[in-house]
Amino acid sequence: MSGAEKITVKVTEVVPLNELVTRFRFERADGGLLPTFSGGAHTVVEMHDGGITRLNPYSLMSDPMDQTAYTISVRRDDEGRGGSLFMHQQVKAGDEMVISFPVNLFSLDLRAKKHLFLAGGIGITPFLAQIKQLQRFNGNWELHYACRSAALGSYADELTDHYPNETHVYYDDEKQTIDLVNLLDGQPLGTHVYVCGPKGMIDWVRKTAAAEGWPREAIHYEEFLAPQPGKPFEVKLAISNKTIEVGENESLLEAMERENVDAPYLCRGGACGQCETRVIDYAGNFIHRDHWLDDAEHAGGEKIMPCVSRFEGKTLVLDR
């Protein structure tokens, strides 16, 4: 069996926050309580869009202790394959949907003396749950949140209202930027850094922190990648003894699922490592997009993460 346990929920609220971001509230369809979770956890939302089934991960942003409802915020991606467009355009209050049990790949290090959160854009969502968790236990935290403009700064106002001392917001259109070197320099020993946002921001924080001498273990990051469209390609699956075609708008993982090949997965965003698959033979180029394999593995041609990565070339044979 693949993926986490499922829960059938009812959409009880759809709230557009701004031009790009809409918030969804889920309650259990049977009226019962949802599982508690830890701040930083995500849920995988199943979408049935015409004949296509998509499973996209979204960070849970509600209070982890609140078992009556989960909330997520979805940023519309007009360039993507349509998962976020489906959420924005098709999902209405009253709809039933299937989501997964919470899975946490971005949990707080509870040993930390202080938690320093760095958010970029929609990357704010996991921190909303972590902040609620820490507030409950008088945790020491500080948030630096960069967004494009005041109009697109989801939750910036309420964070500033509730936690004026801990919250620092930076607007790109006002040329405000996080002074990262200075910020890192001023942190007490035992601080852990968490960054969630676009890839460029994550790389910048990791590199800067490493250059400033921060231990690798004190820097935590999460970026879910949506699978990107690409040229169709053919894959031979050695164990299943099938040759399948991966279409332009589906991922390799989705194509295997369409053909009823039991492929393991968890986050579906290139982060968790669960879907790692051995390459038996290939002639062509990999388009690796995951965060799981390291550079040497990406260059090695022996492994692929089918949830987000693709292939261009003549032959690809996988151990699946």
Partner 1 sequence: MTIQFNNESFRDDYSFYNSERAIKRFPFPFHEDSYMYSVNMEQHRGGPVDSVYEMRFDVDEHYVSEMRDRAMVLADDPLRCQSLPHMTLAGWDLLELIMVSKSEDYPDLFELHRDGNKWRWINKPLGIDHSFTFLDEATLPCGPMEYITRQAQGDFAVLDQRDDNLWMDAGMVTTQADWSLDFDIGMNFFEWHAPVPLAHEKGIFVRALKFLMNIQQGAPARRLNWTMTVNPLLDTSPENYHKWGIQKTELTPQNIGAKQHLRVELQTFFRLPRSNALVFPIRCYLCSFQDLMGVPKWGRRLHRVIRDLPEELATYKGFIDNRPMMLDYLKDFDDGLPTSPGIWPELDTEPPLTR
Per-residue contact flags (x/-) with partner 1 for residues 270 to 289, judged by CB under 8 A: --xxx---------------
> In whole angstroms, how far apart are CA 128 and each of 19, 51, 62, 143, 188?
20, 34, 7, 10, 23
Is 4 near partner 1 (CB under 8 A)?
yes
> Which residue from 38, 160, 208, 315 is in contact with partner 1, where contact means CB under 8 A?
38
C-beta of 171 vs 292, nearer to partner 1: 292
Range 61-66 contact pairs with CB under 8 angstroms and sequence separation of 24 or more: 61/23, 61/125, 61/126, 61/128, 61/129, 62/128, 62/129, 62/132, 63/129, 63/132, 63/133, 64/36, 64/37, 64/38, 64/39, 64/129, 64/132, 64/133, 65/36, 65/132, 65/133, 65/136
Is 140 near partner 1 (CB under 8 A)?
no
Is 92 near partner 1 (CB under 8 A)?
no
User: Which strands, in side-by-side order, build the sheet including 114-120?
Assistant: 167-171, 141-147, 114-120, 191-196, 219-222
> Which residue from 9, 41, 131, 305 is in contact with partner 1, where contact means CB under 8 A?
41
8 A C-beta contact, residue 177 and residue 153: no
Which range, of 15-23, 82-90, 100-108, 201-209, touches partner 1 by CB under 8 A?
100-108
Is 8 near partner 1 (CB under 8 A)?
no
> Which residue from 62, 71, 84, 104 is in contact with partner 1, where contact means CB under 8 A?
104
3-state secondary structure 203-245: HHHHHHHHHCCCCHHHEEEECCCCCCCCCCEEEEECCCCEEEE
> In whole angstroms, how far apart are CA 244 and each of 127, 239, 283, 306, 318?
40, 13, 16, 13, 11
Is 143 near partner 1 (CB under 8 A)?
no
Is 56 near partner 1 (CB under 8 A)?
no
Query: Minimal distance in Å, beta carbon 69 to partner 1?
Result: 16
Is 157 near partner 1 (CB under 8 A)?
no
Query: Minimal distance in Å, beta carbon 100 to partner 1?
Result: 8
> Which residue from 16, 68, 89, 110 is in contact with partner 1, where contact means CB under 8 A?
110
Is 35 near partner 1 (CB under 8 A)?
yes
Q: Which tokens in the block code for residue 58?
A: 């979204």
The residue type found at 201 is M
8 A C-beta contact, residue 25 and residue 11: yes
Which range, of 8-16, 154-162, 265-273, 309-317, touches partner 1 by CB under 8 A?
265-273
> CA 196 to CA 178: how far, in whole Å?
14
Q: Half-sphere exposure (CA, 13 Å, Cβ side) for 26?
A: 27
> Which residue from 5, 13, 30, 302 is in contact with partner 1, where contact means CB under 8 A?
5
Per-residue contact flags (x/-) with partner 1 for residues 194 to 233, judged by CB under 8 A: -----------------------x----------------
Is 137 near partner 1 (CB under 8 A)?
yes
Is 111 near partner 1 (CB under 8 A)?
yes
Is 36 near partner 1 (CB under 8 A)?
yes
Q: Which residues bind partner 1 (CB under 8 A)?
A: 4-5, 35-38, 40-41, 64-65, 101-104, 107, 109-111, 133, 136-137, 217, 266, 272-274
